[in-house]
Structures are given as C-alpha cells and as structure tokens.
Amino acid sequence: MAFKRTNRGTIALWQGTPSCSAAQRFVRRWLRENSPAYPTIWIPDNTRLKGNLGECIAFCCASLAWNPMPRCLAANAFKTLGNISRSEIDLLWIGFGTTPNDDFIIQQEVKTTTSRTLDYAAALITDYEKSFGPDPYLTLNTHLQAVKSKLKYEWQQPQLVNRVNALQAQTPALAHRLTIIPTLIHDLNSEDPVPKLTAVEAELKAGGWRHIESWAIGFKGLSDHLKSMAEDKP
C-alpha cells in the first residue's frame, strides 16, 4: 500500500509508506492511467495545478480507504492537468446500500498548501458554506441533481434516481446521511495539522454540520513531490 493511515481523534493522518516517494509514484501511476494530456510542465506558482493535484491525491487515498468505492463526481481530479479548475464540490461520493436507509453521501473539500503555517486550512470552512449558500450552481442539492442525471443516462441505473431525493437537505443540520471530509494536503515540515483541522471542525459543527471526519495528507518536501507528479519524473 502506498499510503498508511493513522488516527488522532476524528482526524486521519495519511503519509506515504514505506516512503513519501512511494506515495508519489502511486499518484503518478494513477495519473498515467487516468488523466488525459499527461504529463505537463510544473510551474511552482500555478495554484490551479497545485489544487488539482491535491484533489487527485485525495482521490487516490480514498481509493485505498474504501472497498468498494462509492461513485464519485469529481470537479478536477479526473482532469488534473486541465486548463481550468472548476469551483465545484471537489469530490462528491455517493453510495447506495441494500436499502434506501443505507444510502449515503460524502462531501470532500480539499486544500493544498506548501506554507508552513497551514493557515489555508481555514478556507475549507468557506468551501463547505457554499454548499448551502445562495449560489445555486455551488450547492449540494444542485450537485445531487447532476448525480441523478448520471444515474439515468450514464450509469444506466434509473431505478436509483428517486433514492437521491432522500439525500437532499436544505441545511447542514438536516443532512442526516451526509459525512464531510475536510482535507488538507500539506508538507510534513509544516506545523501540526491537527490543531488547524480541529479548529475547522469546531467552526463547521457550530454551523450545523453533523458528521465530520477530517484528513491531513502529508508529504515531506511537498513542492518537489508535486513537481514530480506533474512531470511524471522521479
């Protein structure tokens, strides 16, 4: 396995195993197999590419965490090297159980930072607020409408469309089968990510979010690893 996971309270800490280089190679292999127009030239101040790579890393960790994997709507992870970064839900996972009562959704927002302070983690709060905010293009319910279209026309499972309706909600407090995973991609030489994510969780809980499981995914020398991922070079 390319990543190992340990837990501190509600926060999962992911690191490469047996090394960060092994995790980097795992992500590069996934990109070669799934991302069009790969590789590309790394530009350190390209925040779009940095963010997209972070979403891809989070997706790769999720592929190891869940078996079977839920279906996923990804804003940028499947087109990591695209010329745009879509400001949608980063990773929206949906799972259908044996009965409708077992259905669930997972909303994963991802922030990638090479800063030592990890203050960027606070931007996760804003991302989640958009999901029940005034812009209809960014809300969770709008994205669930897209899920219904995919079920009907792409995934060829129209019998599941009505079950998505039960997953919709007007506020975070009413989203009983929604789990959120605020995710921070960071350098292992940074500050401890746990206090930062703990503060994020406290703010989100105060806003009515019910089920929160944060992830911190660390690489020693993150900038160098992002460059290697983008250029497909050791």
Which tens digit of pLDDT belongs to each residue from 149-159? 999 999 999 99
Which tens digit of pLDDT belongs to each residue from 121-142? 999 999 999 999 999 989 999 9
Residue 37 above 90 pLDDT?
no
pLDDT of residue 130: 96
| Contact between residue 179 and residue 104 where contact means Cβ atoms under 8 Å apart | yes
Half-sphere exposure of 40 (CA within 13 A, CB side): 20
Q: How many CB atoms lie within 10 A of CB 111?
A: 22
pLDDT of residue 131: 96
pLDDT of residue 46: 92
Q: What residue numbers bound the domain in which 74 lies?
A: 3-231
For 225-229, which contacts have Cβ atoms below 8 Å and span 24 or more sequence positions?
225/20, 225/21, 225/23, 225/24, 226/42, 226/49, 226/50, 226/53, 226/112, 226/114, 227/42, 227/44, 228/24, 228/28, 229/24, 229/27, 229/28, 229/31, 229/53, 229/56, 229/57
pLDDT of residue 84: 76
Percent of the chain's residues with pLDDT above 70: 100
Residue 227 above 80 pLDDT?
yes
pLDDT of residue 176: 94
Which tens digit of pLDDT belongs to each residue from 172-194? 999 999 999 999 999 999 999 99
Q: Average pLDDT of 53-69?
A: 96
pTM (global) more than 0.85: yes
Q: Average pLDDT of 23-29?
A: 98
| Closest-CA residue to 217 (of 18, 23, 1, 10) | 23
pLDDT category of residue 81 using cuts at 50, 70 and 90: confident
Q: Average pLDDT of 60-88?
A: 91
Total count of domains within the chain: 1
Q: Average pLDDT of 198-219?
A: 98
Which tens digit of pLDDT belongs to each residue from 82-118? 877 888 899 999 999 999 999 999 999 999 999 999 9
